[in-house]
Structure 1
Amino acid sequence: MIFTATRLTGAFVIELQPYTDERGWFARFYCKNEFGQHIGHTKEWVQLNHSISYRKGTIRGMHFQHPPYREIKMVRCIAGAVFDVIVDLRRDSPTFLQWTGVELSATNNRMLYIPEGFAHGFQTLEENSALLYHHTEYYTPEAEGGFRHDDPAFAIEWPLSVSSISARDSGHPFVDNNFKGI
């Protein structure tokens, strides 16, 4: 695996290095020792989720969990392609309220490692796009938080027009001056 830091401290793009032969390919996408050595990851993955979005242009996000249920996520696209976005919500971070995005696809073999204290969302770039998510905390409904994908405080540059978004996600609040981070 190749670990590349993003411009947001603690977030990494991880590229798989497949072994290929006439049968196809094989790649490791998690090794406790490598993750500890390269990025300092020591927490246990406690929940794995899988999502499929049928329509190109679908947006899911921007989601996070409030303390003490902040979570590390690792996201990998296994079908189609997505523009995956994270926003730094850590109150003492030098990149507070800044975002970055990366294309994840079934063919580019990238994953995104998202530290605690980030909001996460994505937009599908192809129909029938599927993601796998690893989480270090259990989903806790009472700790759930979110912000609008089109919040001017973030000014996220989504690559496509929105074709589909849930009522829940479109109903998230905008960031206001009272938001001090998580």
Structure 2
Amino acid sequence: MSTRVRAIRVVLASGVVIASALFVPLPRGALPDTRIVSVAAIRRPPSAVLVFFTTPAHWPAWHPSSLSVQGKIDHPLEVGEHVVEEFIVAGRRGRVVWTVSVKTYPVTWSIDGVVDGRAAGTVTYMLTPEANGTRFVRGFTYGVPSLWFALVNSMLRRDTIQSESDEAVNRLKRLLENIVPP
């Protein structure tokens, strides 16, 4: 076998090893989680904002990623309650089971998502009373399960998810200020 053929085989084998390593699951916390934050000032009291956005039946009306929600969706969810949401996030369709993990009235509300049996992230909403209404903060935190995901996330997904989250918060603001009666 010639030296050139041997060199090509080594390069190809190395490429396969490196490419394979990109898809190996990383231990939780090996890379920093991604955090998406969107903020709006909503001219409604925190209690009205909280009741509206914690009622899953309203999600498709204000969040562009929420296609539908199933389960007990007709009331503000309490800790331990869960719903199933059909979503499209950054072009990816799926189903997530959201379970309420935190509710401190009217300051914080968090839901933890599971997709295909794996943790998919946490959405945390924080409300702060202001003179003219509510400072509304939506944070979405999700893990980085592989190097491949980290690359795709940094190059494509993160900015798209940020834009979708910003649009959701802006829609919620418009809906609460202009459509939903006080």
TM-score by length of 2: 0.27
TM-score by length of 1: 0.27
Q: Which structure dedicates a bigger proportion of its chain to helix?
A: 2
